[in-house]
Amino acid sequence: MAPITFAHRGASAHHPENTITAFRAALELGARGLETDAWLSGDGEVVLVHDARVWNRLGVVPRRVAVAATAAPALARLGIPRLVDLYSELGTDFELSIDLCGEGVGPRIAEVARANGDPGRLWLCSASLEVLEEVREVEPEAHLVHSRSRTRLPQPLERHAADLAARHIEVMNMHHSEWTPGIIALFHRFEVKAFAWDAQETRHLRAMLRAGIDAVYSDHVDRMVEVIDGSA
């Protein structure tokens, strides 16, 4: 099976990131998955934006506002969609990788997905194993992804792979430059999938494909789809 092609923040090489326009374009270009970041807004909605603070340029004087202190309708005026908007606009026929940002967002994502989407196509990502285990308790159908640089892992790779398997965390996600065929095979030995982010160039995508990666993330959706799905 070909690796999942995740459009990083949508087709962000061509459209403003984490917008419905970028997500729609990514699917039209053939991406089989979308990637985004999620926070809770001031009124408790799951909103899709990378940073904790964003620019509000609608007033006379531009200013930065905190996502967690701003209601979803106000954030929508800044071009920041809710997770429910993503589902209502684009449906559910795609994999959805979400970075969990801020406290309490994981359970709310699960609620929205159960009501509007498909929890079984969620890939919830965090650098914290504890956060991932908390999400498992509220949404057992979601896939859990440990996203962390190899240099910041607290233990040797083999021990970490075994630990993820014991915790029922299905995926290790690292920068494409940190994966080798041998390391991918090591994680596969423990039945843990290997995902590679920031695979932007054709040579990076081809290298990951040859190495046996299970998913890639890229801003350049057209390039990613051509290399990954074109090889099938």
Per-residue confidence (pLDDT) for residue 216, from 0 to 100: 98
Write out pLDDT tens, residues 72-117.
999 999 999 999 999 999 999 999 999 999 999 999 999 999 999 9
In CATH, 4-38+93-231 is 3.30.56.10: no
Phi-psi region of 60 (alpha: psi -120 to 50; beta: other; left: phi over 0): alpha
Q: What is the DSSP letter of 55?
A: E
Q: Quick one: 149 exposed, middle or buried, by C-beta within 10 A (0-12, 13-18, 19+)?
A: exposed
pLDDT class of 120 with cuts at 50, 70, 90:
very high
**Predicted TM-score of the model (pTM):** 0.96
Per-residue confidence (pLDDT) for residue 40, from 0 to 100: 98
Alpha helices for 72-149 (secondary structure H):
72-76, 83-90, 105-116, 129-138
- Which phi and psi (to 5°) does residue 39 adopt? -130, 165
Write out pLDDT tens, residues 19-41.
999 999 999 999 999 999 999 99
Domain boundaries, the chain: 4-38+93-231
Write out pLDDT tens, residues 161-199.
999 999 999 999 999 999 999 999 999 999 999 999 999
